[in-house]
Amino acid sequence: MPDHPAEPTSLWDKGWYSPAQRLDSPNYGPRPSGACIDLLVIHSISLPPGQYGGQEVQALFTNQLDWDAHTYFSQIRGLQVSSHFYIRRDGSLWQFVSADDRAWHAGQSEYRGRPQCNDDSIGIELEGLEGDVFENAQYDQLSRLCLDLHRHYPIAHIAGHEHIAPGRKHDPGAGFDWVRLKSSVQLPNQYFPLCL
C-alpha cells in the first residue's frame, strides 16, 4: 500500500466530497448493515450516446430527463439510476449520492465473490462512450478522486462495469487506459481486475 499523506478532514462531510459539485439524486438507499465499502466501479456514460457537454446525464440521475427530447431516450424511458460521481470531459466533478449511501449504478453484478455490487461499491461515471478514449483532464480528476476515496474508505478493488457485469455491460471499454490509472494511483496490482 502506498505511503499517503494524512487525509485532510475537510474533504468529506457525511460521504459528500467537498471538491465535487453536489446535485442530490433521489435514486439511492441505505447500504446493508455491515457493508464494507471496498470497491470502486468505473463506468462511462453519454446522453445521447457519443454526445458530450449537455446536462442530460445530470437530468437522468435526478429523474428530470425529458424523455421526448431525443429519439434515443425512448429506449431508457422511466429509468431510475444514479452514480456517486460523474467526471465530465473537461475534468469537472459532480456528486449525486453520498458515498456512505447505496447508489443505483451497478445493476445485476458480482465481483470478488460477492453479488449485488451496489451494496458495497462506489460508482464513478466518466463522460464518454464505451470503446472511445477519455480526456487527460478526466484521468487527472479520476486519479485524485480514487486516491481520496482510498484514504477515506477501505477500498481494496477498482474495476470497470464490464468486469462486474461481464457480457451485460461493456463500459468503460477498450478506450479506457487502465495502465495509466494504475500508474497514476500507484496501488498494487491486486487492486485491479486479474484480466488487465
List, by residue number, the catalytic residues: 125
Nearest of 8, 7, 11, 161 to residue 83 by alpha carbon: 161
Q: Any idea what DSSP says for residue 166?
A: B
Distances (CA, A) of 84 to 133, 189, 196: 22, 24, 25
Contact 114, 131 (CB under 8 A): no
Beta carbons within 8 Å of 3's beta carbon, 6+ residues apart: none
Which residues of the chain form beta strands (DSSP E)?
Answer: 12-13, 16-17, 21-22, 28-29, 39-45, 85-87, 93-95, 102-103, 110-111, 114-115, 121-127, 157-160
Contact 126, 55 (CB under 8 A): no
Beta carbons within 8 Å of 100's beta carbon, 6+ residues apart: 14, 15, 31, 37
